[in-house]
Chains A and B, each alone.
Chain A
Amino acid sequence: MGQKGSKIQVTATDKAILQLKLAKDNLHRYSKRTDTLIEQERKELRNIAIAEKEKFKKNARARLLLKRIHYQQHLLDQCSDQLINLENMLMTIEFKLVEKQFIEGLTHGNEVLKKLNREFSGVEELMDDFAEQVAYQEEIDEVLGNSTVSFVGNFQQEIDKELDILDAEINAKQTDVEAFPSTEGLPEVRHNEPAKNLTEESAEEDKALLHSKALKKPMPA
């Protein structure tokens, strides 16, 4: 599949570890073998003990067996010590390998960081340039703002004048209304009756108008 391209590398370290592991395997094998041997000899010893209840303590074979068992036990202890040593060594190596990777990662990261920082080396110039540009922009803004202000200033007086005229017009009208003679003291107008007549008249007039309109209307086909 996709992983086929990357061939797994076997490094010199791997070879060295392999030698250690083979040694470890041999020790492991040896300890297993010795274990079973001791087991067997113990069984044999027990059998002798059962067979010769009284005098088995003086049996040369039993003594020999026990000696052998002890000696083998001693060897087994040594073997397991060595096994532990080897295992410790392997673990240390494996940990060192991990550490190596860790260091490699660090150096790699450092390089990337350096590279990125190098890319930032022009940043001061850039910022100076940027500040300059901003300052220039502000200058332009100021100039433009001033010119607008002066433009408005020229017309200020005319605007004032126009406003004055408008003010004079409106305020003058108000004063005219105030100048009319007052209605106080005049007799009250009687609104009601003539108004009623007027409404009746107009109603009649309306009726007549409606009637004539209806006559004029063409007949529906």
Chain B
Amino acid sequence: MSSCNGAKCDLITLPMPFPPIYDFPPLYTRQPNSLIRKQQLETWVNILIQHARENKGWLISHDGKLLEPKQDHSLFVNENIQRQVPDPFIDEIWVYALQKGTVLKHTNDSFYILWKSLDSWSSLLLQWFETTGKLNQVVTIYEIVSGDDSSAWEFYSMNEQICELALSKLVDRGRATMITNDGKVVAVKVV
């Protein structure tokens, strides 16, 4: 680790606060005007992405708690201003996020959250394969997301399922083949 002193270091390690609008009470009420509501939904999706990126979150529950890594605090509850998003509107946010492709359905009440699109992830993965010289080799998915060679990369600790989805983009492009073991995708070979 590079040496850093005092205030500068704190700035880096402190998670970025939510945008000011997160503390804006009307954000927690479903806006009747459809044009404004669209804006509101867009804002919520951006907050979702930012929250996930800050915490390196991959899986989020329906009520706004990150499951990976586990957090008890819900994104849809803001204690600072004593507001929380009502359930029906939460449903609407998820529907909108699903439509936009920001989240993918995992189970009935949890979602994979993609703070980068699958295409961006797949090209980042490809870059990793190329720079670490792992082309034309069998590489396990565990190795990609938890191995020592990837700890400096953004996808370190990535959810394996998301990783598999991103890799399948490479398969579509003819750059990779999945290798299964006991009927489960466990490794990949990229050329």
Contacts and interface: CB of A to CB of B under 8 A. Distances in A.
Contact of A10 (B139, B146, B147, B179): B179
A10 B177 contact: yes
Interface in A55-97: 94
Interface in B128-175: 137-140, 142-143, 146-147, 173-175
Contacts of A159: none
B83 interface: no
Interface stretch (B16-24, B67-75, B89-97, B181-189): B181-189
A94 B134 CA distance: 11
A54 interface: no
B94 to A, nearest CB: 32
Given A3-B174, A8-B177, A21 B143 contact: yes
B143 A25 contact: yes
Contacts of B186: 18, 22
Given A10-B179, A28-B146, A29-B142, A18 B187 contact: yes
A22 B184 CA distance: 13
A193 B173 CA distance: 118
B143 A4 contact: no
Interface string A1-44: 10110111010001101100110010011001000000000000
B137 A94 contact: yes
A8 B189 contact: yes
Interface residues of A, number: 18
Contact of B189 (A4, A14, A29): A14
Contacts of A94: 137
A221 B33 CA distance: 108
Contacts of A32: 146
A8 B191 contact: yes
B27 interface: no
A87 to B, nearest CB: 10
B176 interface: yes
B146 to A, nearest CB: 7
Contacts of B143: 21, 25
Given A4-B174, A8-B189, A18 B147 contact: no
Most chain A CB within 10 A, of B139, B181, B189, is at B189
B176 A8 contact: yes
Contacts of A25: 140, 142-143, 146
Contact of A3 (B140, B175, B177): B175
Given A18-B187, A21-B187, A22-B181, A1 B138 contact: no
Interface of B: 137-140, 142-143, 146-147, 173-177, 179, 181, 186-187, 189, 191
